[in-house]
Structure 1
Amino acid sequence: MNAHERLRPYELFFILLAITLYVVRRLFGIASDFDSDIEYLQNIPVDNSVIWADLSSYDQYVNNIFPTVVAAILFTTAWGIFHFIVSPEIKKKNFDASTIMLLLLSMGLVLASCYVFKEFKLFWRFRYDDFANPIGFNVYSIYRKLHVLTDAVGVMIIIGFYEVVAQAYYYTAELYEAKQEGKYQVLSNVILGISVFVIAFFALFGKVPELIVGSTGLIIGTGQILLTIGVHQFFYKRVIPYFAKINYSKQEHLVVPALLVFIYFLSVIVLYFGWYRIFHRGYFVGIVVLPNMLGGISAIIRWILFQEKKELQTQVFQKSAELTTLRSQINPHFLFNALNTLYAVALNENAEKTSTGIQKLGDMMRFMLHENHQDRIPLSKEIEYLENFIDIQRMRLDESHEIEIRVNIQTLNHEIYIAPMLLNPFVENAFKHGISFRKPSWIYITLTFDANKLYFKVHNSLHPKQENDTEKHSSGIGLENVKKRLELIYPQRYSLDIQQSEQDYFVALTFVIF
């Protein structure tokens, strides 16, 4: 179970708790404000009959509790459908009819949430005489069709932003699990910590504005989006690449970056203290702080993800090139060994045995030309190649002269796929170093498998080569080739145990099968 799956139950509980706390706090807060305003008018005093006559169109349950609770339920349902169902399908690029319908349902629930809130929610304010003295209440509605639409767009943007942050956390957490590098753990924890803090702070102290987008809010909201995009691009294109190139091990290189950071924060402080002379200070957070925070943080996340993608692409390219090189070494290596064997047979045997060997060699060459260039091949093809190789080797041996070859291969009852040419190099090595016409020799080959792994063992006698043997100082490219390919194709999913003594040589290879 990955970080994504482990977090989901806690995430759902936390969001439901945050929304519940917010709704309860707002309902109690509005009820308290309502009672306080009535008490204020009564203390002026304003006659109770006037107060209640003004409030005759206002009902606490219909115009406050109902729209707030229902809007929250519809919003939560819309978020849940999008986050838990639609978003994973979009991530998998599955845009079938079901996904599109659920996306439209989520958007419809957001629109319904905004409509219910605007349609049923009523507000009150003091009514004043000509001398600005409060003399009663004025009940009013802020329902406008345009406001419902623009607020729905604003809520969808909020849900979308949450999804971007959530996916960034999932991605960095999964990278840490895969690579166990501290930078990914720090990044995922920072994203999670900031997200939890912001949501909890809003649930306990925040307030959804009556108009998320609309009138002045439309202008401010558009400005915030444009500023955030601008800050994001500036940080991503200019600031982060500049700081990424700095050699932080040399102190003289830190002067200019430190000065730039100081100037940046000093500018923000000066702007803050001068802001209220021109604008309302409350807008400072929304127009200056938020765009800088969101733009800067999102640029950092984007840069890290881009660097990770670039690194992965480089690794894939390097591994692909190395695999191609290794594969190009396989064909001549085994082909020349087989040809040398057939040449010896042709000198000592009749044409019948030679023709059989040539047929098996043809099968092996077809394997090299076709299956050998695939990423995965059926195990049956690898076994067929292995058996052909052993049969060709047996053609030059007289097993009655103290040479014993045992082959035990488990019968296949279903197709298994492996990388090509992983088994035969060990068998070839056994025939190369385990056969002597002067001393007793033996080779035992075992191939078994279960539901998850393949087990391959080769145990052979060992005979030191003579000084005049042309292969005594050979490079052993076959075994080194296999070791490199195992590391590239089955990283952390294989085990290779090699044991050697003066009399014998043992290899046990185990790897995960597909």
Structure 2
Amino acid sequence: MFQEASSFDQTVTIAELNRVPHELIWGPLRSYNHFSNTIFPIITGAVFFLGGWFIFHYYIYPRFKEKKIDYQLFILFFMSICFVVTGVFLFDFLKLYIRHRVDNQEQVIGIKVYSLFRKLFFFTNSLAAIVIILFYEGFAQLYYFLNQKLNEEKEENFQYLIYFLNISIAGFMMLVAITANLPRKDYWYGAVRELSLMAIGATTIYFAQEAFYKKVLPYFSSIKSKSFQNGAIYFLFINLLGAIGGYFIQYISWLTYSHVYLGFHAEWIFQLFLIFTFVSIVIAFLRKVIFKEKIELKTQIVSKSAELLNLRSQINPHFLFNALNTLYSVSLKENAEKTSDGIQKLGDMMRFMLNENHQDRIPLSKEIEYLHNYIDIQRMRIDENHNIEIKVNIQNSEREIFISPMLLNPFVENAFKHGISFRSPSWIYITLTHDAQKLYFKVHNSLHPKQENSPEQANNGIGLENVKKRLELIYPNRHTLDIQVSDNDYFVSLIIGIY
């Protein structure tokens, strides 16, 4: 408002210094009222604009962040849009501007009062106001994030960075408040346009390289696979959508600046599409190269940790293996077929732990054999008088499939540990199937609370957490693990890509 008052005084003073007749100065100003044509539009426009921002910042974004997508969110979003559009309309419709009238020699010959209200400018200014709110929200969330991370730092000197951050933002806002001008018809042909293009470009590149890194690169070796094709289509669609958004921003600036429709510029979309695609692929490959060594190191550490846990759980495994062979021979001499069968299965499990468990990949048939041995040994401690139901449906593989060892058995061990009770009805259902691309493994068991003094209570969940970490490192974006727990049952569904 101070700028508008100063501009009004300066315009009149310059006209008087150029000896413009009094009537040519004040005659046009009879239709101009400084309160109704300047002060009121600025105040009401700002109030409605801030109202729209307030609803978006304090009600819409928090609900959107918490993924509360309901009818109330749409109502609030509609209210925010209405506030912003109303503020832009009141400002554009009521605001009048004054400027000098000049002759062919650029000499001041009078004053002109005019309005910039046009349907096109009203649309573009409303869109620009909404974009400004989005920009502010993005910068605000970035500020909250940085402030939180700096506050979490334990070193005292990091507090000075918080002070520097706050002082810098306050100084920038004061500078903008003092020097900023009111929007004109070329609103989209300035900072908002440039910021919008940069925001769309950065957002597109971020999501596109993320899609290429997670949905295309993992399946690059099998280009004919459906997962690769779906990921590539998704990646190209993101880049095309970003290119169309960038073209839309440019198109709005063309409309606002030239007042005419300049035609469809397909080459602009094509250029943006190529730029976004190229940059996204480069960033994705850089991520793969940079983090490959780190992921391999993590995989080795987790594998060694799992191996160490397994070795610690055994007392001299070679001695036990030899002892089992001796017991097996003795049981055969004594005609204890059930005992000898159990010892043989336990020996096979020991051989698997010693020879197969340290490898990166093993045949699925080996893993299935270990599962059968473990389940058969567990069945041996259950007699017919116990109300326990165990159903196993494991599909035999017609082709050689390789997986990482000991990914399936921890879920079976967990089922027998928590799903078997000799006092209550119990059940365990185990299913393992596969198709050409994926392995499907399901374990569903009853759930019985352990006693507080149970020795297994302290180790509960260690094996499962280890499996989760191994899945994330060995099968990134190639597995789905769903665990559902209730008071009475425990369900695990694991899907692994095996193509």
- TM score, norm. by length of structure 1: 0.42
Bigger Rg, which one: 1
